[in-house]
Every structure is written in C-alpha cells, then in structure tokens.
Amino acid sequence: MTIGRTTWAVPEGYIPGRSTADARDLVSHDALCFLNAGERDAQVRLTVFFTDRDPVGPYRVVVPARRSKHVRINELRDPAPIPTDTEYSTLVESDVPIVVQYTRLDSRQAANALLSTIAFAADA
C-alpha cells in the first residue's frame, strides 16, 4: 500500500529544557512519528530551521518498509544536537511516500501536557 507524501513540514518545535522526572518516558521531548506502509525502506532526511541561525541537517533516519518508527528530536546527535528551550521547525524529505506525525511531551509541571498533530504534507 502506498500512502503519504515525500515532503512534510512541522513549523512548531520546542523541546522544554526541564522535566519533573528523570525516567525516559517522562522526560520532556519532541518526537516525529513515521509510518511507511510501502514496500521499500524510506530514506528520510530532516533539516531543522531556527529563528536566529542557519539550518542544521540533514539528520538521516531509515524507516523500514511496512513499519512505524518514532524518533525523539532531543536524541538526534548527528550533525548536531537540537538545543532545548529554542524554537525550531523541521522539514522532512523522504525518497518514498510516508506519513509524519509530530508529538511533544511537556513535563515541566506535575500535570503533564501532550500535544500531537499530523505534519503539513506538501502536494504530490
């Protein structure tokens, strides 16, 4: 099954610099969730844009065929870590159609907040 697009944009990005817990599942983070329902592995490139500096990237992610993959933005390291407490946007480019969802867990307070949305898909 082919579903999705090859170019996506997530204009919202902000990784809170603190959390109320140290456990990985409760640490504040942003994540990109990918669905590759196709028959070929997706070679995904991420470029991160900032308000006050040049873009960084590409970050490279492989999403296996007929699989889902979740990537925490704050765990990306190559070519550079994404700074916390900094506004950013992400351009996602894939060599095969995929679906992209963006999620943020904000655990700066005891009452955690979770935001999730489908990214903007460019026309095919």
Q: Which residue has the tokens 């655990």?
A: 107
> Given a cut of 70, is residue 6 above it in pLDDT?
yes
pLDDT per residue over 24-68, tens digit each? 666 666 889 999 999 999 999 999 999 999 999 999 999 999 999
- Residue-averaged pLDDT of the chain: 86
Rounded distance, CA 42 to CA 76, Å?
18
Residues 89 and 13 sit within 8 Å (Cβ to Cβ): yes
Q: How far apart are CA 101 and CA 49, in angstroms?
A: 18
Cβ 76 vs Cβ 92: under 8 Å:
no
Has residue 14 got a pLDDT over 70? yes
Token pair, residue 113, equals: 């907040």
pTM of the predicted structure, to 2 decimals: 0.88
Confidence of residue 15 (pLDDT cuts 50, 70, 90): confident
Q: What is the pLDDT of residue 85?
A: 87
What's the rounded Cα separation, in Å, for the pair 86 and 10? Answer: 15
pLDDT band at 4 (very low <50, low <70, confident <90, very high): very high
Pairing of strands 56-63, 42-50: antiparallel
**What count of Cα atoms within 13 Å lies in the side-chain half-sphere of residue 3?**
10
Q: How confident is the model over 59-93, as pLDDT tens digits?
A: 999 999 999 999 988 889 999 999 988 999 999 99
Between CA 120 and CA 124 the distance in angstroms is 12
What is the three-class DSSP state of 93?
Answer: strand
Q: At 62, which amino acid appears?
A: V
CATH class of residue range 5-121: mainly beta
